[in-house]
Amino acid sequence: MNGKRNGAVSDDHRDLEAFAREVDALIEKYKSKIGHEDVDFIERCFDYCDKSEIVGRLLIHFSLDPFTWLLGSTLLAYHMGSRGALMHMVHHGAYDNIPNVPSRFVSEKTKYNSAIARPLWKVFHVRHHAYSNQPEKDPDWGYGLLRWSGETKWYPFHLFQVPGMVLTTIGPFGGIMGWYAVFQSGFMEFFVPKGLISAGRFYDKHDWETFKKSFAWMMEGLGPYLAKNFLIYPALGGIFWPKVLLGNTLAHFMAGTVAWLHTVSAHIGQPVFEKKPGSRAEWYVQQIEGTANLKVESEIMRIFTAGNHQQIEHHVYSKFPVSRLWEMAPELEALCKKYGVRYTSESWAQRTKKVFKTLLKYSFPVS
């Protein structure tokens, strides 16, 4: 099994409840700190993000040498990855309750969008937070077709999941797997047999009307993204359209690769939970032990990930603004150490190694 457990701190029920009370108190402590300085911070993040897009696209369009062109693609990749991460926090409602917050940071009013439209995002992501690392309930379980636990039925195509992961993540088609949720919830669920997809189902009905609604949601976010990056801006490049198209494609692949590795490393290799938590205390344990943080020291990378490298804190309370996540992390880690709860925080290299080691192990039927 893959570190399977049912989610109890110890056999002492008092320890479990005491842990939950201290986590509740920690959450309330940092909720009371949320204010306009959090809005100022995310405004700066979006400012960096938007400026990197402008400079990046200009360099791609007007570059006269490969170095300048590559720098433009890198800046555009920063914009693509950072914007998606920032929108993740906005969609969660991290800034909704701050008085007089600009509407662009209110989850139900924002005009900002990314490759994933909010209606589709709400379908799969909210369920992921409710059922993290629970086989056949968590929509992110297996990320569509991957097998990372003995709880998932083995099929011959799993023999190729490691080279497939390399090809679709860090190979020439890097970033493609990062859109798994878009295609799974908007397309795959309706046409791929249920047994082949190990993740929890998104919809109760799979009729034509549900598919049309789901497909429309998928294209609401994906359509403008594809048109903007692979049609409109290349067309503006005139006779240099191949250079612009290639630069935009490279930026998409770079951003998708980093985002995908960041996403899968948060859960693959962590404990699997067979049972639904019986109390809020057990829910905390499942969220914490089923999730891993990435150690990020650079301020630039903290802005790029928009706090998403602090996945443990994000899963404990998903409506914390970006900066509160890493601010509370040392205290939550200390609580986990006190009560014997596994708190995983590792480098990108360590987490990536664990991801591929886990996928290799479960590529075979006997594991």
Mind listing the pLDDT tens digit for each residue in 11-34? 455 688 999 999 999 999 999 999
Three-state helix/strand/coil letters over the chain: CCCCCCCCCCCCHHHHHHHHHHHHHHHHHHHCCCCHHHHHHHHHHHHHHHHHHHHHHHHHHHCCCHHHHHHHHHHHHHHHHHHHHHHHHHHCCCCCCCCCCCHHHCCCCCCCCCCCCHHHHHHHHHHHHHCCCCCCCCCCHHHCCCCCCCCCCCCHHHHHHHHHHHHHHCCCCCCHHHHHHHHHHHHHHHHCCHHHCCCCCCCCCCCHHHHHHHHHHHHHHHHHHHHHHHHHHHHHCHHHHHHHHHHHHHHHHHHHHHHHHHHHHCCCCCCCCCCCCCCHHHHHHHHHHCCEEECCCCHHHHHHHCCCCCHHHHHHCCCCCHHHHHHHHHHHHHHHHHHCCCCEEECHHHHHHHHHHHHHHCCCCCC
| 291-337 per-position pLDDT tens digit | 999 988 777 777 777 778 899 999 999 999 988 998 999 999 999 99
| 260-289 per-position pLDDT tens digit | 777 888 888 888 887 888 889 999 999 999
Residue 160 resides in a domain: yes
How many domains does the structure of the chain reveal?
A: 1
Residue 53 resides in a domain: no
| pLDDT value of position 11 | 47
**Could you tell me the pLDDT band of residue 348, with boundaries at 50, 70 and 90?**
confident
| pLDDT value of position 74 | 96
Range from 83-97, 108-122, 174-188 carrying the lowest mean pLDDT = 174-188
Give the global pTM.
0.86
Using the predicted structure, report yes or no on whether residue 87 has a pLDDT greater than 80.
yes
Using the predicted structure, report yes or no on whether residue 6 has a pLDDT greater than 50.
no
Using the predicted structure, report yes or no on whether residue 9 has a pLDDT greater than 50.
no
Using the predicted structure, report yes or no on whether residue 350 has a pLDDT greater than 90.
yes
Residue 81 resides in a domain: no
**Could you tell me the pLDDT band of residue 113, with boundaries at 50, 70 and 90?**
low
Stronger pLDDT, 152 or 217, i.e. the higher one: 152
Average pLDDT over residues 210-237: 86
Using the predicted structure, report yes or no on whether residue 174 has a pLDDT greater than 60.
no
Average pLDDT over residues 100-129: 77
Residue 316 resides in a domain: no
Residue 265 resides in a domain: no
Residue 262 resides in a domain: no
Stronger pLDDT, 80 or 173, i.e. the higher one: 80
**Could you tell me the pLDDT band of residue 142, with boundaries at 50, 70 and 90?**
low
d(CA 170, CA 151): 27
| pLDDT value of position 226 | 87
| pLDDT value of position 277 | 87
Q: 133 is in which domain, residue-wise?
A: 119-221
Average pLDDT over residues 91-105: 92
Using the predicted structure, report yes or no on whether residue 243 has a pLDDT greater than 80.
yes
Average pLDDT over residues 250-264: 84
Stronger pLDDT, 168 or 326, i.e. the higher one: 326
Using the predicted structure, report yes or no on whether residue 145 has a pLDDT greater than 80.
no
Residue 216 resides in a domain: yes
Average confidence score pLDDT of the chain: 84
Residue 142 resides in a domain: yes
